[in-house]
């Protein structure tokens, strides 16, 4: 069961993160907190000071929680396609 609203509203508790959007022409990175999240039936918005997003989760086909080890460091990410 995809619970996108719960995921987005819960991300503020994670603290500072990198929001990264990429396509074949560009990469856009912003570092900040997922705060001021507004969810709705068709879209969601993050209206924070550093991260300002418009999200359309109904077009997401796949979501992954990824953990990558780099030496002694563990990097975690949520990836949606």
pTM for this model (two decimals): 0.81
d(CA 28, CA 16): 16
CA 22 to chain centre: 12
Count Cβ atoms within 10 A of the Cβ of residue 25 and give its class: 0-12 exposed, 13-18 middle, 19 or more buried.
Answer: exposed
Give per-residue pLDDT as tens, 13-69: 999 999 999 999 999 999 999 999 999 989 999 999 999 999 998 899 999 999 999
The C-alpha R_g of the chain, in whole angstroms, comes to: 13
For 17, 36, 70, the CA distances from 12, given in Å and listed in that order, are 9, 9, 25
């Amino acid at each position: 069961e995809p619970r996108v609203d719960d995921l987005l509203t819960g991300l503020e508790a994670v603290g500072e993160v990198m929001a990264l959007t990429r396509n074949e022409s560009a990469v856009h990175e912003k570092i900040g907190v997922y705060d001021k999240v507004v969810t709705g039936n068709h879209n969601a918005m993050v209206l924070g000071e550093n991260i300002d997003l418009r999200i359309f989760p109904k077009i997401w086909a796949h979501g992954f929680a990824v953990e990558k080890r780099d030496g002694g460091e563990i990097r975690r990410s949520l990836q949606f396609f």
